[in-house]
Amino acid sequence: MMDGSLSRAAVTDARFLADVLAGLSRPDRTLPSKYFYDARGSALFDAICELEEYYPTRTEMALLARHAGEIAAFAGPDATVVELGSGSSVKVRLLLDRLTTPAAYVPVDISHDHLVQSAARLAADYPGLAVTPVSADYAAGFDLPVGTVPERTLAFFPGSTIGNFTPDDSRTFLAGLGRRLGAGSRLVIGVDRKKRRDVLEAAYDDARGVTAAFNLNLLARINRELDGTFNLGAFAHRAVWAEAQGRIEMHLESLVSQTATVAGRPFRFAAGETILTEISCKYTISGFQALAADAGWRSCCVWTDERGLFSVHALVFEDR
């Protein structure tokens, strides 16, 4: 059952413009990765999940399928499942199929139309479940349905999307999430692990160029929505493993010396200059547990695959 009262605190054009102008005005240029996800960006992300090189999705899906019974026991009966960055709401089905009488599903995503469509599909497939999509930037805060009880709340944050925050920002975000959900709430979170450079870089720079299209789509979105003049053929996708920071960085590299405008504001790019568009931090298991503990989340369990590619953590928020 789809709840009609879609809560919407989504991104405004003014916020998008302000963030783009601020990011491009910095000496080390950046664009926030959350703006990848317009309708085309969301579809391209789903295509990335199908790629041979992109091991995180299939590895996390296998872990969730294998441990769904344990996750259901961890969540307990009558849980309200709050999914952060729910995308196409595919992985959560593995949990919903095993939870004991789940009370509600609250998908939270910034990609408004994609969220509404995915939530409607899920509601049709789970007729007894109250589905309440929340269109919001989860880092800016969002409302939970009235009557949500901390001890029966399971937050679900798959996809290693937490890696898009720096470790400091992750700590702040997780602490804020815990305070929002309340003491006793539970979190199941997918976290990508550190591994060989070649495996990591291939995952973010596939042979078919889908990730390149996903990265370049950000410039196409700026052209379309913010009256930009980026020449997409004059920028190239780059993905590099930055060992010292323990993160993959996605950049757009200017191939020539050029000027692009956004809403009439000119930005000059030297040949070889890059815009950082996404970071994806990778963690050891103990490193992530320590970060989560600093944010008030006690580790209850962690599951990983035989090849040590990915981890799924189960945590409880403790009032401190």
Ligand X SMILES: C[S@@+](CC[C@H](N)C(=O)[O-])C[C@H]1O[C@@H](n2cnc3c(N)ncnc32)[C@H](O)[C@@H]1O
Contacts to ligand X by CB under 6 A: 34, 37, 45, 49, 57, 85-87, 91, 108-111, 137-139, 158-159, 161
The least CB distance from residue 57 to ligand X, in Å, is 6
The least CB distance from residue 296 to ligand X, in Å, is 21
Q: Are 144 and 138 in contact (CB under 8 A)?
A: no
84 or 260: whose CB is closer to ligand X?
84
Three-state DSSP state, 204: coil
Q: What residue has token string 């995308």?
A: 87
24 or 110: whose CB is closer to ligand X?
110
21 or 139: whose CB is closer to ligand X?
139
158 or 167: whose CB is closer to ligand X?
158
H or E element, residue 293: helix 285-294
User: What Rg do the C-alpha atoms of the chain give, in angstroms?
Assistant: 20
DSSP state of 34: G
Three-state DSSP state, 262: strand
The least CB distance from residue 11 to ligand X, in Å, is 9
The least CB distance from residue 4 to ligand X, in Å, is 21
109 or 205: whose CB is closer to ligand X?
109
Pairwise CA distance, residues 198 & 255, whole Å: 24
The least CB distance from residue 264 to ligand X, in Å, is 27
Give the relative orientation of helices 13-25 and 210-225 as an angle to the nearest 10 degrees.
Answer: 110
The least CB distance from residue 93 to ligand X, in Å, is 12
The four Cα atoms 160, 164, 169, 172 give a dihedral, to 10 degrees, of -40
The dihedral through the CA atoms of 191, 194, 195, 199 has a sign that is positive
Distances in Å between the Cα of 293 and the Cα atoms of 153, 157, 186, 299 are: 19, 17, 13, 7
**C-beta atoms surrounding 286 within 10 Å:** 10
The least CB distance from residue 105 to ligand X, in Å, is 13
86 or 132: whose CB is closer to ligand X?
86
141 or 272: whose CB is closer to ligand X?
141
